[in-house]
Structure 1
Amino acid sequence: MHFLLLGATGRTGKHVVSDLLSQGHTAVALVRTSGSLTPRPGLTVVTGSPLSRSDIENALSAAPSLIPSAAIFTLNTNRTSDSPFAPQLSPPRFLADSCANACEVLEHAGIHRIVVMSTAGVGDSWASLPWLSKAFMGWTNIKYALEDHNLLDKEIRLTKMDWTLVRPSRLVFDDPNQKAADTKADVQTLDSKGEGMRMADTVRVSSVSRFLVKTAVEGLFIKSAVVMRD
């Protein structure tokens, strides 16, 4: 399969690129900064903004002999640092408008499958989020990303796309010393409400990537949201 990738330079997006290529798929990645992602066999890199429909159109046609079967969206908002209190850099509605643009361009091109990386706590999963997680999100600048994810959640449901919203619990980086067998364990999935979420829930970035790719390739959870954890 051939994929359009938005957010391929992020910590999850880079894993998605590697997972797709290792499985024999191909992809075109739209990146905002030239040189932020190195082209390699099976990967075409196009510089542009997801806020520009014409840039997304250019990405779709960047590999003339290949038409994307689906898109994987791993964009997130940016802050001045990884601190949850750091000021927001991304404009309001960055995620919502980027996703709406992508869906519009994809629909026009006859492509109807998109898998979007969201986060636990969005939409109807907020009620099941542990109270301490709610407090943390509400008291830090993470609230701006959450608001944008909520807007995206509403926007995508208005489209005709075969969408999936993947809502990971708290992301953690993979331990390079961890055994390979451990990192390939199946994740746990909860319904869109995330009933049963716990404060200690985490999920490895590599686990999220594999789940996103599997969901896109196998056509799972169409027109639904799913909360996931390790």
Structure 2
Amino acid sequence: MHFLLLGASGRTGQHVVTELLSKGHTAAALVRTTGSLIPRPGLTIVIGSPLSKSDISSALLAALPLSPSATIITLNTVRKSDSPFAARVSPPRFLADSCANICEVLEHAGFNRVVVMSTAGVGDSWSNLPWLSKVFLSCTNVKYALEDHGLVDKDIRLTKLDWTLGRAVRLRFDDQKPTDTKTDVRTLGSKGDGMSMTDSVSVASVARFLVQVAVEGLFVQSAVVVAG
């Protein structure tokens, strides 16, 4: 299968690329910065912005005659540092506007399948977040990412696409080591029933889940909370 990737140079997106290529799939990735993604066989890299419909269209057509069976979006907002109190760098509505552009281009071109990485706490999963998580998200600059993911959640439901929203709990980035392995995730439904403060999930495991969902056509027009 062939895939269109947005956010492929990010910490989760790079795992998505590796997972796809290791399974024998191909992909075209739209990235904003030259050199942010290592060229590999089966991967077509296009420089551009998800805020530009023409750039998205270029990525969609970059590997002709291959056309994407699905699009996987792992975009996220950016802060000046990893500190939850760091100032936001991404413009307001970066995720929402990017996703709207992607969906419009896909619908116009006749491609229906899109899998989006979201976060626990969005939409109807907010009520099941542990109270300390709610305090953290409400009192730090992470709240801007949550709000933007919330806009994506609302807007994509208005499209005619076969979308899936993967709402990941707290992400672990320690699995960048070669010795670490991916583990199966737990799916907790749209509302995240049973979420706890100790829940986390590795970026590699989330990436494998997103690829599986895209390849197998799982959770169509559904949101699902994902934990390790």
* TM-score range for the pair, normalised by the shorter chain length: over 0.9
Aligned counterpart, 1:131: 131
CA contact (8 A) 2:175 2:204 kept: no
The 2-side partners of 1:138 and 1:66 are apart by: 44
Q: Report the AA paired with residue 105 of structure 1.
A: V
Q: Name the structure 2 match of 1:204.
A: 202
Q: CA deviation at 1:132?
A: 0.2
Letter in 2 for 1:198: S
TM-score scaled by structure 2?
0.97
Shift in alpha-carbon separation, 1:184–1:35, aligned structure 2, 3 A: closer
Asked if structure 1 preserves the Cα contact closer than 8 Å seen for 2:169 and 2:199, the reply is yes
Structure 2 residue aligned with 1:222: 220
Counterpart in the other structure of 1:57: 57
Offset of 1:184 from its aligned partner? 3.5
State the distance in 2 between where 1:161 and 1:177 align.
Answer: 36
Instruction: Give unpaired runs (5+ residues) of structure 1.
Output: none
User: Which digits, 9 at most, give the CA deviation of each residue in 1:174-225, with x for residues without a partner?
Assistant: 3467965xx3432111110111100110001110000000000000000000
* 1:150-192 CA-partner distances (Å, limit 9, x unpaired): 0000110010100000001100023467965xx3432111110
Matched-pair contact (CA < 8 Å) for 1:2–1:25: yes
1:117-196 equivalent positions in 2, closer than 5 A:
117-175=117-175, 183-196=181-194
Distance verdict in 2 for CA 1:141–1:176, change over 3 Å? closer
Q: Secondary structure at the match of 2:8?
A: coil
Would the aligned equivalents of 2:130 and 2:195 in 1 still touch at CA under 8 Å?
Answer: yes
Please name the residue that 2:46 is paired with: 46
The share of aligned pairs that are identical, in percent, is 71
Map 1:66-81 onto structure 2 (within 5 A): 66-81=66-81
Deviations 1:120-142 (A, max 9, x none): 00000000000000000100000
May I ask how many residue pairs the two structures share in their alignment? 228
Q: Distance in 2 between matches of 1:53 and 1:175?
A: 34
Q: What CA distance in whole angstroms lies between the structure 1 residues aligned with 2:14 and 2:2?
A: 16
Instruction: Classify the secondary structure of the residue corresponding to 2:119.
Output: coil
TM-score of the aligned structures, taking structure 1 as reference length: 0.96
Q: How much does 1:63 deviate?
A: 1.0
Question: RMSD in angstroms over aligned alpha carbons?
Answer: 1.2
Q: SS at 1:118's partner residue?
A: strand
Q: Retained in 2: the 8 A contact 1:174–1:206?
A: no
Distance 1:127 1:24, change over 3 A: same
CA distance in 1, matches of 2:179, 2:60: 38
Counterpart CA distance in 2 for 1:185 and 1:161 is 29
Give the direction of change, closer, same or farther, for the CA distance of 1:121–1:41 in structure 2 (3 Å limit): same
Question: Aligned partner of 2:15: which letter?
Answer: H
Give SS of 1:29's match: strand
Q: How many Å separate the matches in 1 of 2:204 and 2:124?
A: 25
Unaligned runs of 5+ in 2: none
CA distance in 1, matches of 2:27, 2:39: 10
Q: Return the letter of the residue paired with 2:196.
A: R
Cα deviation for residue 108 of structure 1 reads 1.0
